[in-house]
Amino acid sequence: MTDVRSRYEEYLEARERELILYRSGRRAAPELARIDEDFDDVTSGEGLDELTRALAAASFESTRDRLRRLRNAVQDACLASRLRELELGLWERERRQSARVGSREARVREWEAAIAEEAEASRRTGTQLALDRAWSELNPLREELFGARGELLAGLGYASPRAWAEARRPKLDYEMWREFATRLLAATESVYRDGLPRALAAIGVAPETAHRGDVARVERLSDYDALFPAAKLAATLDFTLEGMAIRMGQLPGLSIDRAERVGKQLAAFCAAPRPPHEVFLVAWPRPGVPAYAGFLHEAGRALGYLFTSPELPVERRSGADAALEEAWGALLSSRLADPEWIAMGPPAARAESYAPDIRLRRCAMLRRCAAMVRFELELASLEGEADPGGLAALYQAELEEATGCRWGPEGYLIAAGSTLASVDRLRGWCLEAQLSELLRERFGRRFWRERAAGALLKELWNTGATYSAEEIASELGLGTLAIDPLIETCLHL
């Protein structure tokens, strides 16, 4: 059994490093085929039978839990290997795909980044139409990948992606999260609809003509770029953490990459080939609220890895509940909308206008997440090689209801991401809302300025991937995860 565990750990490290090189622009394409071949004993499923036999023979629940985690991890490796060619093909097509807007031809990824920067409404409309066409062109390949994954899951005994997710986390009530998503949308409807016309008017758009690209422009909050310059990304992170005695630049094992590089992913990301000894935080230095939000979010995730106990076995150091990683990220990015952080931080000089704008942005993000929960639960219920195309209209309807703007169906599989990722995001944000309130009660409204708050968080991070978001909430005496505290942050933060 030790060999299966050690080989999986080596495979995980190799694959993660390769993807870091690719996403940071240091490699044109990830050499995943070579890694799969080097670790054929892991990716072929050779070790799954051994793990299954050991699991059946285990007498103690703690042993069974470790074996289940390891089996799940190796199973994921097998799926990734078998889907590799389709996935790499899609990535390459996405990387090379171009689109024409007016007289200019550019990569689709450039247009995706540029639409929020475009101040002219008519040009945003043209860009969004071009993006819709481009996304539609690659949907057959995305649908093929979705079907292939469903077929592989069926071969492993799971009727649908949802059945696979439920087997991984049997105590999670997915229908409860559908209900929570619906409640969030209903409870925030009035405050969102009241704020949206003002925000659209500020960018010269009438509500009846607004579309997805206009939403991106509203949430760009470009009026505050002078308060959030690219050069102060790291300083703002330090300001947010220093009171808790956390100095990001001094943490062993952390590499921070803020260089501008052709091919580098624009969105910030965190990756940990070997937590806590090797963790990467990668960002493209850009000005503005979205860039800061993304950087702070990924820094929060990095902290979860950096303070993970090195004594934990690999299955408790890596592969944490995605909701828990989301909560650690949200704990930092939510400070952008925290009244006390606003009063002391970069936007202090314009707090009166910034506060309602950032809260509307937060509300819009959570409403989209709730809409995706309802859509993804339907998508994940499709069995085997079922065609997901019939749900594109549902995606469009859900997002139009959530945003109050026109939203095409073309990007429905791009937005879906991994299986039921939106449920994990919503769970993570619920934990963050409850945890932040606990920290305020114990350490004051400016808890992020208190060393004792940092000590508590380090204790939580030390457990790595041992617990789920629900288990962390229980350990802290927060009870069950609930939607009402999160809704409250949209209404009265």
With H, G, I as helix, E, B as strand and everything else as coil, classify residue 407.
coil
Per-residue pLDDT at 262: 87
Per-residue pLDDT at 384: 84
Does 364 lie in the same domain as 218?
yes
Asked, for residue 4, whether it belongs to a domain, the answer is yes
Per-residue pLDDT at 61: 80
Asked, for residue 139, whether it belongs to a domain, the answer is no
Residue whose pair of structure tokens reads 């072929």 in the numeric block = 44
Partners of residue 105 on adjacent β-strands: 100
Phi/psi at 279 (nearest 5 deg)? -135, 135
Asked, for residue 109, whether it belongs to a domain, the answer is no
pLDDT digits (tens, 9 = 90+) for 186-214: 999 999 999 999 999 999 999 999 999 99
pLDDT digits (tens, 9 = 90+) for 52-91: 788 788 777 878 888 888 888 888 889 999 999 999 999 9
pTM of model > 0.75:
yes
- Residue 462 tokens read as 């030390």
pLDDT digits (tens, 9 = 90+) for 433-442: 999 999 999 9
Boundary (domain end) residue, out of 52, 82, 112:
82
410 contacts 204 by C-beta, under 8 angstroms: no
What is the pairing mode between strands 278-282 and 269-274? Answer: antiparallel
- What distance in Å separates the CA atoms of residue 132 and residue 101, rounded to the nearest whole number? 12
Residue 214 CA from chain centroid, whole number:
22
What b-and-e string marks burial along 85-99, b requiring 16 or more CB atoms within 10 Å of the CB? ebbeebeeebeeeeb
Could you tell me the sign of the dihedral formed by the alpha carbons of 437, 443, 444, 449, in that order? negative
Whole domain around residue 163: which residue ranges?
158-492
Q: Which residue in 374, 384, 385, 383 sits closest to 412, CA to CA?
A: 374
Per-residue pLDDT at 62: 77
Partners of residue 39 on adjacent β-strands: none
Per-residue pLDDT at 493: 57
CATH code assigned at 370:
1.10.1370.30
- What distance in Å separates the CA atoms of residue 458 and residue 119, rounded to the nearest whole number? 43
Angle at alpha carbon of residue 375, lines to 131 and 492, rounded to 5°: 95
Per-residue pLDDT at 25: 93
Does 199 lie in the same domain as 73?
no
Asked, for residue 417, whether it belongs to a domain, the answer is yes
**Cis amide leading into 276 (omega within 30):** yes
Angle at alpha carbon of residue 329, lines to 324 and 331, rounded to 5°: 95
List, for the chain, all residue ranges whose pLDDT scores fall below the cut of 50. none
Partners of residue 226 on adjacent β-strands: none
Does 316 lie in the same domain as 407?
yes
Per-residue pLDDT at 2: 57
Q: Which residue in 402, 403, 378 sits closest to 390, CA to CA?
A: 378
Domain count of the fold of the chain? 2
Residue whose pair of structure tokens reads 């990001």 in the numeric block = 248
Q: Which residue in 363, 354, 426 sits closest to 176, CA to CA?
A: 426
Residue whose pair of structure tokens reads 């993570």 in the numeric block = 428
Does 427 lie in the same domain as 319?
yes
Angle at alpha carbon of residue 183, lines to 374 and 469, rounded to 5°: 75
Written as one letter, the residue type at 32 is L
Does 383 lie in the same domain as 242?
yes
Does 203 lie in the same domain as 70?
no
Report which DSSP code applies to 28.
Answer: S
Does 172 lie in the same domain as 67?
no
Asked, for residue 346, whether it belongs to a domain, the answer is yes
Q: Which residue in 389, 386, 381 sits closest to 413, CA to CA?
A: 389
- What distance in Å separates the CA atoms of residue 461 and residue 198, rounded to the nearest whole number? 41
- What distance in Å separates the CA atoms of residue 145 and residue 432, rounded to the nearest whole number? 33
